[in-house]
Amino acid sequence: MNDWTPKLNSATALAKLPLTPEEGFVLSRLDGATPVRHLTALTGLPPERIQAILTRLVEHGAVLPSPTSASAPPPSATPPRSAAPPPEESPEDSEPLLADSEEPLSPEEEAPEEDDASAEAAAGNWRQIFERRLHPLPENERASLARSAEDPELSAFCFDPVPAVIKSVLENMRVGLGHARLIARHHHNPVGLEALCGRAAFASDVGVRRWLVRNPQLPSGLYRRLWSGRRLMEQYKVAMDRDVPEGTRRTAREVMRTRFNTAPAEERVELIINTEGRVLASLVGLGVDGKTAALLCGRTYRSPMLIQNIARWSAAPPALIVHLLKQEAVRRQPQLRMLLQRHPNAPADARRG
């Protein structure tokens, strides 16, 4: 049993389950990769308590039963279909003929999404604890209590709107990534968010960063400090994410443009190819160096979308235009060839090739 790795049941609406705060807390720590034997250190609960809570979570249908268990499937799941592949794995990456430049991309890491589902189930309970029991207390008393609180009260304090209380939460020796993600998502004061990012371990966490960029109170200066050195693809994903407030998306585009001027050639090529050239609409006025152009010319192009976006890129190098005109995909589609021949950087002999 200690070697069992509990996994969330994707067929169950976790947020609607009647979980206790303690059950919600344990559920929020299940990432699909942590075995039972590590949950004691992760939660601070004794092994027998962990086992009892996991048993109830399986009964609720929130967690899939142990593979060695002979028990029936959770009541919320339909036995023949519970093992169906998750819908997010369906192939939606087929090549579009035309698409809007704002296309949501897959996140770099999927693990935080699993955390989201379980955190949603527990967040309501923690928010209730804060609003009913903690919020009526004076601010200085809440700040004092937060320094030594244990869960579920410690998680409840993450909903406090006062930066001083959040700073006290961060001083608590029991604070962990789960609490940091709650603060990044639910705290809406720039001072508190600055304090959160003062902890390097929290600021570098994928889940914390994902909720920070969706927080409308994230200061643009803090975003620049945290993201200016990140890879171009990560910056692009923030700039195109419709769940990110427009102010942060605007800052992300500015940071990406600045980074594009200094990024290695390989990273620039990765950005252009992986976005099928959609990023070029955000890079108007920026060109590329000789190495980047050479790397782009060293590839075979089969995507009409990528070729079309490059053909509309005013800074496309002449050598790249010539290279694209030689591609089989262009020879088969006259409209692509016409776009390339009309490009201002197309050599004169290519215009009538």
Domain boundaries, the chain: 1-68+104-218, 265-353
Q: pTM for the complete prediction?
A: 0.65
pLDDT at residue 142 greater than cutoff 70: yes
Query: 112 or 181: whose pLDDT is higher?
Result: 181
- With CA atoms as reference, report the closest residue to 294 among 329, 318, 326, 261: 318
Strand, coil or helix: 24:
helix
Residue (of 237, 235, 238) closest to 258 by Cα position: 235
DSSP, res 8: B
Q: What average pLDDT does range 93-100 have in this prediction?
A: 37
Report how far Cα 65 is from the mean position of its chain's Cα atoms: 28
Q: In terms of Cα–Cα distance, which of 318, 156, 231 is closest to 166?
A: 156
- Of the listed ranges 40-49, 80-89, 185-194, the least confidently predicted one is 80-89
In whole angstroms, give the CA distance from residue 157 to residue 351: 66
1 — pLDDT class (breaks 50, 70, 90): low
Give the side-chain half-sphere CA count within 13 A for 30. 28
Residue 17's pLDDT is: 79
Per-residue pLDDT tens digits for 194-230: 999 999 989 989 889 999 999 999 999 999 999 999 9
Mean pLDDT of 105-126: 51
* Residue 34, pLDDT score: 79
